[in-house]
Structures are given as structure tokens and as C-alpha cells.
Amino acid sequence: MHNVRKVTEDLYWIGGNDRRLAKFEAHYPIPDGVSYNSYLLVDDKTVLFDTVDRAIEGQFIENIDFVLGDRKLDYIVVNHMEPDHCATLQVIADKYPEATIIGNAKTFNMIKQFFSFNCDCRCLVVKENDVFETANHSFKFVMAPMVHWPEVMVTFDEKTGMLFSADAFGSFKALNGNVFSDEINFERDWLDEARRYYTNIVGKYGMQVSNLFKKVENFDIKMILPLHGPIWRENISFIIEKYLKWASYEAEEDGVVIAYGSIYGNTANAAEILATKLAEKGMKNIKLYDVSVTHTSYILSDCFKYKNLVFAAATYNGGIFTYMENLLTELKVHNIQNKKIALIENGTWGPMAKKQMMELVKCFKKSEIIEDAVTIKSSMTDEQLNGLDIIADRILE
Ligand code: FEO
């Protein structure tokens, strides 16, 4: 049975939710699911904005059939070719053979890589600032390369202020009937997952996100319609300001993330003591993570959020404890910047973690590394207590 919501007089949300998928992109845990948004315009022409993941294909087709009624589908706009949005494109293209597909040159290259149907005879190739009109809408196409793939574009309706934003402004979490951000407590219930989505999926491409903002800064945006998570029609400046902050790699709040990789508890002990010392000296917002327990995506998200980062790791096979090495590598490839960083290592006979962690954190741009790293040889002693005090003071400077 169809399950749709009316967004405006002539636009419908026709997406759906997946609450069974364990890991988005086979990588990121999504305990609260994810939504795949798609929108269908019923004007003098009918226009579908993106398709959905294969997981909700059946629901999607029922939704399209319901909204179209006896109309045919005239156009399909493909803002993003990643399979969480386009896996059902061929099914829809085959079902509506008269529909023209709108995309840019890169879009069609990818369609040919993913699918076998002939799109050359039914494509409308658009470029920057091209406009496509229906009776009551004037859709301008704005290229947004690497937000999150190279072919990404966003579509702005100059008549209504609707911005179909592709992955931008998206979030993990399934929608629960309330598809608008003003129907939920976004800051309380969604912001952390929106940040985790942004930092992990798009975080590497802050410069490209900033470039997109420069292109649309003079647009009179009245509604943001992302491909995941809620639609924004009120308080739009809230999510735009969050995105501007995230894209700039500036910390959102003062505070510290202490991530530790500990095999028998001694490195964990040092991390816990440092947290206590920081708290006693006045530090608020201390986030302590065991890297072998918490998935990297949550820690990475908080590393974007807070200014100070401490990495404490045991030496393992002559290198960095595996989960810590993974975290630091993820932070490096996600372009983390503007941090104050301290290191703690442990090693019973040949501590090597600090040297190798240093090589990775040196790649964090515009960051300050506190040189006074603490080396533990098996378990904490008074000497290392003093070292933790020095680190705490340097963080609080
Ligand atoms: Fe939601 Fe880049 O796909």
C-alpha cells in the first residue's frame, strides 16, 4: 500500500525507510535506520526527483503509482548516482519508457556504468545554471561536485525556493511519519546523527561543501529537501549554520575527546585519570571512548565537534593498537583540521605506538600537537601521573 506525504500543493514525499540495514555503505552502523527520500512533482509535467535504494523498491513503486494516478511520468531528475538513491533507476526507467532523464554529463557516464538501458535516446543533459520549467516551477541546476560524488548536482526552484539538496543536509535515522524537521525535536533527537552522517559521509569534502554554499548564498531558500532525513521548511538557518561550521572544520564546542585503545586496562586507566584531572581543572564536555568498543564513526563525529583530542594507545605487533590505527587513519582521510592533540602510549618492552601515532596526527592540517607525550611501560606510576598533569594543563591553556 502506498505511503506518501504531501510536501506542497503539487509536490509529494514518496520515499521510505530501512530499519533492517545494519551498516550504511557496509560501514556505518545505523541503529535507528535510514530514510531514502524521493519527491514527485505533479504539475503540467510530472517530475520525479531521484529514486531510492533497492531495499524499498516495492514501496517506492506503489507510491509513484498512487501519486501519478492516470498520469504518465514525464521526467526523472537524477541529482546523485550513488546506489542508495539510484539503484531503482533502471526499474523506473523501464516502467516509464517515455520519461526523459535529466542529469549532467557525469551523471550519464555513471548511468552507463551502472545500468544497461539505453539512456542516450532519452537524456536531457544539463550544465551549471541551466533552467528547466514546468507551469509553476523554474528549476535551476547547480553542480555540486564531491558533495559527495563528482556527478552530484542540486536543483533549486526559483519560483518556490525549494532546494533539492542531494546528500547535503541529510542525516542517518529513519523518518517516523514526521518528515519535516519542525515536526520533531531535531536538536535533541537528530543533531548527533546528522553530524555523524555529515562528518563520515561528506566530511572529507568540506571545501567542496563550502563551494556549494558560495553558489547558493544568494538564493532565497525556503525549503531544503535532502535525500536522507527530514525536510526543512522552518528555521532553515539552524541547519545551514551547522553545515557552515562543519564544512569549515572549526570545532563546534569547547571540550575534549579522549580515545583509548587498551588491551588489559592500563592504558584505559591513564585515559580515565586524565579525564578526572581535566574535570578537576575545570574542563567540561569530556568524551571518553574505548576504540575497541565504540564504532569509529561515532568517535570521528565527536572529533569534528570538539577542539581537543587525546589518543592513548597500547603498542601492538610493533605498531599502534589496531582499532586506534583505524581511527587515526579515518580522521586523516576525512581531512580533520584545527585540533589540539595529545598522545599517550603504552608498551611493556618496546613502546612504539607514539612514534607511529605521531606520523598520522602530523597529517591533521592546522593542528597543534602537544609534544609532552606520556609513555607508560605496562602500568601507571607517579612519573606518568605528572605527565598527565602536564597534558591536562597544556589542553587547558
Ligand atoms: Fe546518500 Fe552519496 O548517497
Reported as a single tens digit per residue, the pLDDT across 88-118 is: 999 999 999 999 999 999 999 999 999 999 9
Query: How far, in Å, is the centroid of ligand 1 from the Cα of 27?
Result: 13
Reported as a single tens digit per residue, the pLDDT across 60-72 is: 999 999 999 999 9
Q: Considering only CA atoms, which residue is closest to atom 1 of ligand 1?
A: 167
Measured from the CA of 36, which atom of ligand 1 is nearest? 1
Measured from the CA of 148, which atom of ligand 1 is nearest? 2
Burial track 161-194 (b if 16+ CB lie within 10 A, e otherwise): ebbbbbbbbbbbbbbeeebbbeebebeeebbbbb
The per-residue pLDDT of the chain, averaged, comes to: 97
What per-residue confidence (pLDDT) applies to 394?
A: 97
Let me know whether 70 and 162 are in one domain.
yes
Give yes or no for residue 82 CB within 6 A of ligand 1: yes
Query: Of the candidates 197, 225, 248, which is a domain's last residue?
Result: 248
Let me know whether 82 and 223 are in one domain.
yes
Domain range spanning residue 385?
253-396
Let me know whether 227 and 321 are in one domain.
no
Q: Give dist(CA 230, CA 186) in Å, integer.
A: 9
What is the residue whose three cell numbers read 580515545? 259
pLDDT at residue 51 above 90? yes
State how far Cα 219 lies from the chain centre: 23
Average pLDDT of span 17-29: 98
Let me know whether 182 and 52 are in one domain.
yes
Let me know whether 119 and 96 are in one domain.
yes
Query: How far, in Å, is the centroid of ligand 1 from the Cα of 170?
Result: 9
Query: How far, in Å, is the centroid of ligand 1 from the Cα of 30?
Result: 14
Reported as a single tens digit per residue, the pLDDT across 2-13 is: 999 999 999 999
Query: How far, in Å, is the centroid of ligand 1 from the Cα of 137?
Result: 26
- Predicted TM-score (pTM) of the model is 0.97
Give yes or no for residue 151 CB within 6 A of ligand 1: no
Give the domain CATH number at 342.
3.40.50.360
Give the domain CATH number at 21.
3.60.15.10
Of 325, 320, 323, 330, the residue nearest 364 (C-alpha): 330
Let me know whether 198 and 54 are in one domain.
yes
Query: Of the candidates 216, 248, 280, which is a domain's last residue?
Result: 248
What per-residue confidence (pLDDT) applies to 372?
A: 85
Let me know whether 242 and 304 are in one domain.
no
Let me know whether 104 and 230 are in one domain.
yes
What per-residue confidence (pLDDT) applies to 353?
A: 97
Cell reading at 377: 611501560
Q: Count structural domains, the chain.
A: 2
Let me know whether 242 and 274 are in one domain.
no
Query: Of the candidates 248, 282, 313, which is a domain's last residue?
Result: 248
Let me know whether 241 and 262 are in one domain.
no
Let me know whether 16 and 128 are in one domain.
yes
Let me know whether 108 and 175 are in one domain.
yes
